Structure 1
Amino acid sequence: MARVCSIRGSKVRVGRRIHRSGLAKKKGGIGRHVTKTVKRTVAPNLQTKRIYVPELDRYVKVKLTAKAIKTINKNGAYVTLKKAGII
């Protein structure tokens, strides 16, 4: 299953990590230099949750990011899931 949030649509992003070499000037070197960049992935903080929806009187199982869980706590389960098109 894809690593995508059901509500926000957050997914794995690709970024770069800078690789530096050399000794810092403070430590007696000639300074640090960027020699290359290395690809890396940044994954969202996903969790699978069973959320109880009182209006429907049932549980809904969804894959959410931590930020989406905060949104559900703030706006309510039914409103948030309805807006996302899950129910």
Structure 2
Amino acid sequence: MAKVCSIRGSKVRVGRKIHRSGLAKKKGGIGRHVTKTVKRTVSPNLQTKRIFVPELDRYIRVKLTAKAIKTINKNGAYATLKKAGLI
């Protein structure tokens, strides 16, 4: 299954990790230098949750990021899921 949040649409992003070599000037070296960059993926903090919606009187299973869970706590399950088009 895709690593995508059902509410916010957050998905895996691609970034780079910097490789450096050399000794820092503070430590008596000639300074640090970037030798190469390596691609890496940054995954969202996804959780699979079963959320009870009192208005529908049933549970809905969704894949959410931690930030989306906070949004549901703040705005309510029904309003948030309806806005996202899941209900």
Partners of 1:42 and 1:75 lie apart in 2 by: 28
Cα deviation, residue 52, structure 1: 0.1
Structure 1: how far apart are the matches of 2:43 and 2:29?
36
Aligned-pair CA distance for 1:50: 0.2
Describe how 1:73-84 pairs up with structure 2 within 5 A: 73-84=73-84
- Summarize the alignment of residues 1-87 of structure 1 with structure 2, pairs less than 5 Å apart: 1-87=1-87
Compute the displacement of 1:26 (Å): 1.3
Supply the distance in 2 between the matched residues of 1:20 and 1:61 (Cα, whole angstroms). 44
Instruction: Name the SS for the 2:60 alignment partner.
Output: strand
Which secondary structure does the structure 1 equivalent of 2:50 belong to? Answer: strand
Shift >2 Å, 4+ stretches: none
Normalised by the length of structure 2, the TM-score is 0.98
Q: How far 1:15 sits from its partner (Å)? A: 0.3
Q: Deviations over 1:10-62 (max 9, x none)?
A: 00000001110001111111100011111010000000000000000000000
1:52 is paired with a residue whose SS is strand
Measured in 2, the distance between the counterparts of 1:40 and 1:61 equals 30
Distance 1:18 1:10 in 2: 24
Unpaired segments ≥5 residues, structure 1: none
Percent of matched pairs sharing the same residue: 91
